[in-house]
Amino acid sequence: LSLYSSPARETKYVETPQSQLEEGVSHLRHIMEPYTAWCQVEWFYITSALHSDFFSGGYEFLQNPPAGFYPRLGVIGFAGIVGLFLARGSKIKKLVYPATLMGIGASMYYPQQAVAIGKVAGTQLYDWSLQGYIAVESLWKDN
């Protein structure tokens, strides 16, 4: 063996053929590439919007909430879960029960806001019912 020369190596890189699974994954990645690029762009817009002034107030509020905020939030959320548990069967019940129980829970902790929302909702309901009455009356008179 010589110290200054090395024997010539006769090695070749042989690429192993892709399996069907690898080909399928590669094909799927090529198909999904425009969608993932779109999602990355949208994610950039969402994260930049979250860091904007519009959402910074809510973020700061959640970082430094008032005393008792999270327990109240837990009670309201638990009321919604109980509503889902009680609303077996009908799909309408699954919408009405949790919303009602969460509304009751929220109105116990935030009565002033509940009164304000109730007033607005009452006037909206009155307007909708009046519009419905006028529509039914016009249909009745046409016949």
Q: Are residues 32 and 55 in the same domain?
A: yes
Position 2 scores a pLDDT of: 62
> In terms of residue numbers, what domain contains 94?
67-109
Same-domain pairing of 50 and 82: no
Number of domains in the chain: 3
Is the full-model pTM beyond 0.75? no
Residue 79, token pair as written in the block: 């009321």
Contact predicate 81/74, CB 8 Å: no
Residue 103 has pLDDT above 80, yes or no: yes
Residue 124 lies in a domain: yes
The pLDDT score that the predictor gives to residue 5 is: 72
Residue 1 included in any domain = no
- What three-state secondary structure class fits 139? helix
Q: Are residues 74 and 60 in the same domain?
A: no
